[in-house]
Amino acid sequence: MALLEIKNLAIHFGGLKAVSDFNFSLDSGQLFGLIGPNGAGKTTAFNLATGVYKPTEGSVQLCERSLVGLPPFKINRLGLARTFQNIRLFGGLSVLENVLVGFTQSVTHGFMGTVLRTPKHQREDNHHDDEAMDLLATLHLAEKADYPAASLPYGDQRRLEIARALATRPKILLLDEPAAGMNPQEKVDLMGLISFIRDRFKVGIWLIEHDMKLVMSICERITVLDHGETIAVGTPAEVRGNKDVIEAYLGESV
Amino acid sequence: MATNAALTSQSNVVRPRLPVWVLNLLITVFVVSLYPLNGVLEKFMDPYYLRIVIFIGMNIILATSLNLFNGITGQFSLGHAGFMALGAYVTGSAMLRYNPEGMAGSFAQLGMLVAGGIVAALAGLVVGIPALRLRGDYLAIATLGFGEIIYTIINATDQIGKFEIGGASGLHGIPIRTNFFWTFAFAIVCVVCIWRLAYSTKGLAFRAVREDEIAAAAMGVDTTFYKVTAFVIGAFFAGVAGGLLATYDGNLAPESFRFSRSIEIVVMVVLGGSGSITGAILAAVVLTCAPELLRFFSDWRMVIYSLALIVTMLVRPEGLLGRREIWWRRRTLARVSG
């Protein structure tokens, strides 16, 4: 059984079947893509996996443990971290603090330890500071550690979201359009960074992206959604030649 | 990418300059030294001014504790006076019934103050768990309702068992034990606790909840737990401040813990800058002194006081200090701990 296993997942909003009969599995070290036209249900699939929505039917399992019905913070603690399509950084906190928030769940001392500043508290906080700086260095953000997150340029904010998600020590990382709004060069750099992250942190990465060229270039397998239904699954080459996919994106041929 | 290791070792992390045990010792020594200072002040300071100073201390506790919930965690409570009332009546009526002489009295006082805080904290827990499902305006109204319920209950209760409550006519004759030392010892404990909570990795979760609840949850932060914790800690210190007031004045009137008292504390937090601890302290000082300084204008006093507030909020809508602290440097405060 794969690390992340999704079976027959579906959610209906009233009569609208936003996602139906969705199947997916991902292991650590793999990099899979999820594509589809606007409104196809890609982000909804992410929201189902991370507990933002509760599925109407189907199962989501991480390490053979069911995630259905768990609140988002528990799902994150079990090892499923995500970024957001519309960036959701803690704008008023510094870049470093944004990453440190990801470490709050690994703090083992209690509030008393924090108030008394016990040696254990200091050890842990210092250790987390170093680790956070490490992550920022990996994502090329170390020089901006003390800037307010909201003041960063767009591309940096996207990378900071990834750093923050990595701080929660995920087994699986879900990236929701990480390259949106970037210029072509930034996109190429980011894709390099994503494969690097997969190798360095040994995580499985599941990626939503609009830019077909990019997805095709780095993903090993791609799932294509349209109107909530899976219309194709396969390697980039297979998906590229698929008739349904071309129709979904370009419309039917006359 | 190969430079990672090099970057780690020289990361620009700032450690506190003083070892923490030295800092803790200094704080303890400072608190203890308030005791002789209290004697000096009582001997040489005009009682009217000393009274203002003591009220500043109580307001520092109230503003800082509410700031943890309203400012740092970004929620909105209008029920702080309710917790204060609980603490005041628990401490007040317990001291009224049981007031040993000398040293034992001081320990009784300490115990009763903490007991008042604990009762307020428990009330915070009971109210907080259901109420904190609400957000913004709805939460404000729910907490406002809580405050008024506490007032109504106290107003209608003459006795609980053998403990005097006094009902609408108030509780009188509480032994007066609180002075400058007691007030500021608790004020320092309160400020140190909340400062250290706010500026630590664990405490970052409070600010993450303020910034973006959904993102905080996605980062593994149990948002409900942190909101309830902030509420309960705030309630505890409000209860202690109430107990201090009871044993300083010797009299309690239920009306003094109504809505307007909660508003007064909210104003301190907002004026100082929601989320700024030093801002809340500054505002507590300014807003306690202002009405006294304005006595000169007699009838126009409250008009001018209100106008000054309006003008301040127009000029600095984010409050006197915004979210910064007085000695804010560009360094993130998470690491200027201590």
Q: Taking the mean position of all CA atoms in its chain, how far away is CA B251?
A: 21
- Residues of chain A neighbouring B193 (CB-CB closer than 8 A): 115
Instruction: Give A65: exposed, middle or buried? Use CB within 10 Å, 0-12, 13-18, 19+.
Output: exposed
Report the C-alpha gap between B113 and B242 in whole angstroms: 9
> If DSSP codes are grouped into helix, strand and coil, which group holds residue B140?
helix
Report the C-alpha gap between B145 and B12 in whole angstroms: 48
Contact B86, B123 (CB under 8 A): yes
List the single residue in B15, B201, B215 with the smallest CB-CB distance to A88: B215
CB contact under 8 A, B217 and A76: yes
Q: Which residue has the tokens 């909020």?
A: B313
ipTM of the complex: 0.92
Q: Tell me the DSSP string of A185-240.
A: HHHHHHHHHHHHHHHHHT-EEEEE-S-HHHHHHH-SEEEEEETTEEEEEE-HHHHH
> Residues B158, B160, B161, B163: is their CA dihedral positive or negative?
negative
Domains of chain A: 1-79+170-254 (3.40.50.300), 89-167 (no CATH)
Report the C-alpha gap between B118 and B97 in whole angstroms: 19
Domain covering B48-158+167-335, topology: ABC transporter involved in vitamin B12 uptake, BtuC (1.10.3470)
Res. B37: pLDDT tops 80: yes
Point out the residues of chain A with pLDDT beneath 50. Answer: none
Report the C-alpha gap between A75 and B217 in whole angstroms: 9
Partner A contacted by B217 (CB < 8 A): yes
pLDDT-based confidence at B6, cuts 50/70/90?
very low
Across the strands, what pairs with A25? A5
pLDDT-based confidence at B334, cuts 50/70/90?
very low
Res. B68: pLDDT tops 90: yes
The model's pLDDT over B110-140, given as tens digits with 9 standing for 90+, comes to 999 999 999 999 999 999 999 998 888 899 9
CA of B8, closest CA in chain A: separation in Å? 5
Q: Give residue A254's pLDDT.
A: 62
Phi, psi of B154 (to 5 degrees): -60, -40
- Residues of chain B neighbouring A92 (CB-CB closer than 8 A): 207, 210-211, 323
CA of B238, closest CA in chain A: separation in Å? 18
The model's pLDDT over B149-190, given as tens digits with 9 standing for 90+, comes to 999 999 999 999 889 999 999 999 999 999 999 999 999 999
List the single residue in B13, B204, B216 with the smallest CB-CB distance to A130: B13
A73, A75, A195: best mutation site toward chain B, by most B Cβ within 10 Å?
A: A73
